[in-house]
Every structure is written in C-alpha cells, then in structure tokens.
Amino acid sequence: KQEVTQIPAALSVPEGENLVLNCSFTDSAIYNLQWFRQDPGKGLTSLLLIQSSQREQTSGRLNASLDKSSGRSTLYIAASQPGDSATYLCAVHGSGNTGKLIFGQGTTLQVKP
Amino acid sequence: EPEVTQTPSHQVTQMGQEVILRCVPISNHLYFYWYRQILGQKVEFLVSFYNNEISEKSEIFDDQFSVERPDGSNFTLKIRSTKLEDSAMYFCASSERGFGDGYTFGSGTRLTVV
C-alpha cells in the first residue's frame, strides 16, 4: 500500500531564504507526482507535475525533482517571500488500474518578513 | 485559466439530513473525482468517475454516498444521511485524460454536520 510522507511538518524561515521541502513514497511504481499549495481553509492549487520519466520540473522560483527509484521528491523554493506562506502537499498517482492520488500530510511553511 | 467550480463554499446541516455537493468540472475534462480532508488530516480519495460510471471508490465511499453527472456540466456528491464524522472539506477534481495527467481541484465545500 502506497504511503506518502512529507518532512518537515512545519518550517519557518526569514524572507529571501532558499528552502527545500521533502516528500517520500514507499512504492516507486508511480505514473507521476504532483505538488500542490493549500492556503488555510482553501482549495488545492497545482504547482508542478512531474511524470515518472522526468527528473525535474521548473516554474518560476519553484523547482521540483523526482528520484523514482529511491521514492523521493523535493520542492525547492528560491528566494522565499511572505506570500509563499502556505501548506505544500505532494501527491503520487500510482500505477496500475487506479486513478487516485495519494497525498502526504503536507509541510506548513511560514516566511517571515 | 479554466477552473473547477464548487458550490456551496460552506454548508451546515443537521445530523441525519441529506446533502448534495455540487461541482462544475473543466469543460473538456473527462475524469472526475471527489476527495475529502478532515480537519488536520490528509486529503483522502473518495471516488473517481468516468464515462458516466464509477471507476474506483475507497472504503470510505459506502452506501450513504453517491455521485451523479445529471447533465453535461455538473458533477454531484450526495450524502444520504449525514453523520458528525462526515464533517470535512470536500474537494472536486477533474482531469482531461486521467492517467498521466495532472488534476485540477476546486476550492472545496466545507461541510459541517451538527
């Protein structure tokens, strides 16, 4: 059974710092991995989608990497800003005849001005 | 950018009452999903829907839950007799091609059962 874990659970950094959020999954047989942002009480905003054949994806100050064989992904945020404060979720789309995403519990990021 | 729209944003209901949560997926998407997030817990899968039928459901999705696509645009989740433990944020999502595609989520409906 696929399990997704995110470390750390919470992170507080000063504005301008570069940071890395970690996601690990137990079953390397995945179609893709998606990173989401969730603001308090709000929905999920897709940030980056990495297919199983890809190593990384970039969007602006965000870079996500995927090492499928070791069951790990990282989300790198460059030059963090207070507006980046949110919970970041990773979710894997398992292989096989399933359409569901398995989510981690998230990393809550606070960027202090 | 196309959006998944959910209504209402917040619903309060008495225990035992029926509720219907509504979603309008992105128009050219073919795969539809419901997820829920109990406060402080992980987002968890409920059901996937394709070609007018359920393609997969979780253990949570028991007989009190049902989904329907009553017309070409709406996708609904019905809970027949709500329980206190059904209180959660319910998210609708859609995907153009399913496997290998990213999912677009709606902003959610917060259901509070009292």
What is the per-residue pLDDT for A69? 92
What is the per-residue pLDDT for A31? 87
Assign 3-class secondary structure to B34-59.
EEEECCCCCEEEEEEEECCEEEEECC
CB-CB neighbors (< 8 A) of B103 in chain A: 34, 46, 101
B25/A96 Cα distance (integer angstroms): 25
What is the per-residue pLDDT for B35? 97
With a cut of 90, say whether residue A109 has pLDDT above it. Answer: yes
Q: Which residue of A has its CA nearest to B50?
A: A99
Whether A59 contacts chain B with CB within 8 A: no
Tell me the pLDDT tens digit for each residue of B8-21: 999 999 999 999 99
How far does the CA of residue B69 sit from the closest CA of chain A (Å)? 18
With a cut of 80, say whether residue B33 has pLDDT above it. Answer: yes
Phi, psi of A90 (to 5 degrees): -110, 150
How are beta strands A4-7 and A56-59 bridged, if at all? unpaired
How far does the CA of residue A48 sit from the closest CA of chain B (Å)? 9
Tell me the pLDDT tens digit for each residue of A46-71: 999 999 999 999 999 999 999 999 99
Confidence of residue B97 (pLDDT cuts 50, 70, 90): confident
With a cut of 80, say whether residue A110 has pLDDT above it. Answer: yes
Confidence of residue A97 (pLDDT cuts 50, 70, 90): low
